[in-house]
Each structure stands twice: as C-alpha cells, then as structure tokens.
Amino acid sequence: MATSAARARIDSPPPPPPPTQPRRGDDDYVPCNIVEIELLNFMTYDRLACRPGPRLNLVAGPNGSGKGSLVCAIALALTADPSVLGRAASVGAFVKRGEESGHVKISLSGNTPEHIIRITRKIDTKNKSEWLLDGTPLDTACVFLHSSELYMLLLKKLKKAVEHHQLIYRSKELKNLEVANLMRKRLPWLKYEMKEEELIEAQEQEKTMKKKMEIAKIWEDSKRPIEYVSY
C-alpha cells in the first residue's frame, strides 16, 4: 500500500510554475503602467495633463482637489461602466458643466520604452462615446479589448486592484467587528465603573452635607444666650 502511494506521488505531474512577473525597464515602468493622463472638459477639470510615476497605486489630496475626477477618468478610459463609479449613471454626466463634449486619454507603457499605447475616449452630453486606439477610431471597445495580449494583462491588473480594494474594505469591517465585540465584553465592567463613580460621588456629597450640618449646628448654638452659672 505504501509502495503504491509512493509510486503515485512519483508519477504525478509536477505543479505548474508560478506566473512570471513582467520585468521593469530602464525607466522602471512595466507594460501597461500609466505614463500619462490627459483630460479635457472632464468633471472639475478644464484641461489636465499629468505624468504619474511607474509605481502609481494611490491618489491622495485634500477634499475638492479632484482626486475622484482623476480616478473616474482612468476607469472610464479603460472601459469601466459609469454606473459602477458611484458618480453618475451615464457617461454624459462626466462632461464638465457648461461644455458639450470632452475626452480622456490614457497613455500606457508598452513592451519597450519607445512603445506607448494611447487610449482615448471622447464623450459628450448626449451619452455618446468614441474610442480611439493610438489615434485610430474604433467601432467598439471590444476591438480594443481583444487587440493584443497586452490589454488582457491590463485587465488582469485592474481585477487585482479591485480585489485588493475589496480586501482592504473587508479588513476594515473585520476590525470594526472586533472593536464592537471588545466593547460588548467590556460593557459589564464599564457599567461597574459607572456605578462605582456614582457611589464615590454620593459619598462625597454625603461628607459635604455632614460638614454643612455641623457648621449650621455650631452657628445655631452660637446664637443662643449665654447662661451664667453662679457658684
């Protein structure tokens, strides 16, 4: 029996190798890294062009600085449905107020430093979208999605980022639950501490009242006439 089990372990195929990670180039970028973001008449921006670093994973800033606009632009340019962004149900609502149209352009690093992939999504207030890949119009976003294995890698990275966000959210929920359980366990002790504080306060009030009563008694006694005793 042991020999058969050993033979089965020997004959079983080896486990698949771990997936290889893309190598960073001399500029520290890997394929599908965002190298430039360009906005025109998009939400709060009239015009914006920014070049994030190769390890972009967080957009931070004070309230009202346009963080959400930048993140929405990245998502919409990479085929996200407007309804999942929590800002508006239609793409036309992302056009800056007072304007009729705008666009989002995302430039991605390719397999070489010289290879740049430019994805443009033009939008208007009539909820129409026009896609361009490296300046060439596309009929649908599906053409863009299946045009290269590089784009499939991009989708995998987006999925990984979403899963990471969900993991952070769940860990926060777990932490809040642990705090709630801890408070529930401490509740009897907190009630005891409150009762103890109330008892100490009542005792202090009792001492104060006794002192006042003693002072009042002394004062009343001092008002009585002095009795003389003759010997």
In this prediction, residue 21 carries a pLDDT of: 60
Which residues are 21's β-sheet partners? none
| Structure confidence by residue, pLDDT tens digits, 22-62 | 667 667 788 888 899 999 999 989 998 989 888 877 788 78
The candidate with the shortest Cα–Cα distance to 118, out of 160, 62, 61, 77, is: 77
Q: Tell whether pTM > 0.75.
A: no
pLDDT at 160: 67
> What long-range pairs does 62-69 form, CB within 8 A, spacing at least 24?
68/43, 69/39, 69/42, 69/43, 69/44, 69/45
Residue ranges for the chain with pLDDT beneath 70: 1-23, 25-26, 139-167, 169, 186, 190, 192, 223, 225-231
Of the candidates 101, 103, 98, the residue with the CA atom closest to the CA atom of residue 126: 101
The per-residue pLDDT for 101 is: 93
What's 160's DSSP letter?
H
**Domain segments of the chain as ranges:** 34-157, 171-220
What local confidence, expressed as pLDDT, does residue 8 receive?
46
pLDDT of 2: 47
Would you state the pLDDT for residue 134? 86
- In CATH, 34-157 is 2.40.30.10: no
Position 201 scores a pLDDT of 82
pLDDT score recorded for residue 146: 44
Q: For residue 14, what pLDDT is reported?
A: 58
